[in-house]
Chain A
């Protein structure tokens, strides 16, 4: 028995020795900072995949910050620890919520602007009103500030924005007998309100009837911002800032539901669209199985990252511009104003951060035009400041240059805490009419009951 105990013990000690030997590498990191005798402050930053440049830019900004600190003779050096989250947006929110409660949250949390409502209401983040006055953010496209304003304060540092154009398949239009000039003029016609939402539906029907495409139209398969732009398009509202209430605009929402009902009844969209995986959506679009796709400018980046094309695999920007055009969402009425929706991404700052001043300075430095342009060109997003839009790297990009005008037609989602619930309920209603389980009228009635139940006095109903 003693022998066994001894051998077990000696194995254990040996293993400990080996393991501790492996762990040595960790210790050497600390000694580096001891050399220049300055205190290293670690600032944690997190973003969601795949746009890692959102946090990489913070690392680069930290280099500049360290130079500044050196010049000022301060013995502090900043190190940015980055974290890339992979998973759904709900999980991303949930993870931050729980990490915050465990005091393990990142100092800088990059997220979509519409999360500001619940983050601010739950005291998760700090107001950043000073940023608006800073030199770095002085030339922000002014409408963008609306997207980070909630209850009279600024809650986030604008990181990027985008346009959500409708992609149209040029090859299909060619087969329909359109000339190159007509094809390339389509965005202009949409811009002038000559080509309406109805025209888009009719064209999709024609292409499908002639067997040129499997689906006339494809939209996103899961809940998201795109659906709500239709409420704006039909002249409705989503939010009342004075009363700080979510608005159910019944007339506009009925028209919105009618639209999705119509395209589903005409079999323009896949029958199980809301059950499809994102990858199947990308594959259908890239392989030319659809004429119109309610997408986002960043899809150009997505399609270059994965093998969506059956023969070519990954497709580059040049290929995409040859085969696809991008236009605004056509106006609901002839001569009306076309529309799009932007979803600015913002850096928010945890209310538990211990290095607020350093974090603020870091967020100012990260707005540097060159850094913005690099991120925008790499991931196909749009800059938030005019100086970044003028940056030669950004201007050299043809695709982004073609859609920058869309910012003039853009709208935002409200920042209200209850909006995710509204969004979910509307998505359920859209799903119900698309699957033919309810008529738009029934769906609207149920939606009203659901929203009253979910939102209570946070809801304002407009007849």
Chain B
């Protein structure tokens, strides 16, 4: 008994708080959602179990096809911007700008939206797309004597993808620049001596060395995009009608606008399942287990 205590005392002290937090704020909510999804809980907040009724309702929901389509478009395109633009930024600020202080300066600029509160960040986008002649885009149009346009009404998805894509790119940028930095300098020297072009350095040295960070950023951003809705909520609130409504936001709206907590949880549970299935596929597909091992370059 004494030896067991001795063996686990330090790990328990070190990990305990985090295990408690993870249990309270990550694991418990999922369990609660899974239970709630099978109830008809509404504004009366009663736990009345109703079997699969919520899922039947989800299948027959007249808006669900549009919302699923929106979710695919939103996650797909935002992810593309997140990863691709993040990669471009990473390469630009670490490989092309060799001077550390200058690279750091540009990276900090790109990090600014991430450290500003979402409401403030979205406010800037709202001003950018404002339908009056005072909006940034519309005042640019005014220079060419074009009438103001209602951007958020006519192109809600584009606005949502741009706002999310640009802020998300900074995450990839940070991960990618540190990955590029960890590539041994010798490889670049050797390539330069051999007269390799810039493109072939990027294609044959940088990208192959970044398979793991690329994979990680893609999966991470995929999961967070699937369940994120705060920028959409603030920017278009899913509108006009359901044109920029995604599954995560729909779950929020059903639970906290219509007070259908059971139904909202059922939608969330579907999201959890999608996330689990995709994580599993990616894990298998990209051989994550192998990549978790030590770097193959060193």
Using CB atoms and an 8 Å cutoff, list the residues of chain A in contact with chain B: 90, 93-94, 97, 101, 118, 121-123, 271-272, 274-275, 417, 420-421, 424, 428, 431-432, 435, 437, 446, 449-450, 453-454
Contacts and interface: CB of A to CB of B under 8 A. Distances in A.
B284 interface: no
B257 interface: yes
Interface string B44-75: 11100000000001001111000000000000
B153 interface: yes
A424 B256 CA distance: 13
A123 B239 CA distance: 34
Given A97-B259, A453-B57, A121 B44 contact: yes
B241 interface: yes
Given A435-B241, A453-B60, A453-B61, A90 B256 contact: yes
A417 B44 CA distance: 10
B62 A122 contact: no
A272 B131 contact: yes
A424 B150 contact: no
A437 B241 contact: yes
Nearest to A417: B43
B45 A101 contact: yes
Q: Which of A122, A123, A424, A432 has the most CB of B within 10 A?
A: A122
A150 to B, nearest CB: 14
Interface string B186-229: 00000000000000000000000000000000000000000000
Contact of B240 (A93, A118, A424, A431): A431
B150 A275 contact: yes
Nearest to B57: A453
B244 to A, nearest CB: 12
A98 B46 CA distance: 13
A118 B43 contact: yes
Contact of B43 (A97, A272, A435): A97
A435 B61 CA distance: 22
Contact of B258 (A121, A122, A271, A420): A420
Interface string B133-168: 000000000000000001011000000000000000
Contact of B44 (A90, A122, A420, A432): A122
B241 A90 contact: no
A274 B240 contact: yes
Given A272-B131, A446-B62, A435 B153 contact: yes
A121 B62 contact: no
A109 to B, nearest CB: 14
Contacts of B152: 275
A121 B43 contact: yes
Contact of B45 (A122, A271, A272, A274): A122
Contacts of A431: 239-241
Contacts of B46: 122
B43 to A, nearest CB: 4
B54 to A, nearest CB: 11
27 contacts: A90-B256, A93-B43, A93-B259, A94-B256, A97-B43, A101-B45, A118-B44, A121-B43, A121-B44, A122-B44, A271-B153, A274-B239, A275-B152, A275-B153, A275-B239, A275-B240, A417-B42, A417-B43, A420-B259, A428-B242, A435-B241, A437-B240, A446-B62, A450-B62, A450-B63, A453-B57, A453-B60
Contacts of A121: 43-44
List of 5 A-B pairs having minimum Cβ-Cβ separation, nearest first: A122-B44, A118-B43, A449-B62, A272-B150, A272-B153
Nearest to B56: A453
B39 to A, nearest CB: 14
A97 B45 contact: yes
Interface in B63-93: 63
Residue of B62, B131, B153 ringed by the most chain A CB atoms within 10 A: B62
A435 B258 contact: no
Contacts of B45: 97, 101, 122
A420 B256 CA distance: 12
Nearest to A428: B241
Contacts of B259: 93-94, 97, 118, 420
B43 A90 contact: no
B269 to A, nearest CB: 18
A424 B43 contact: no
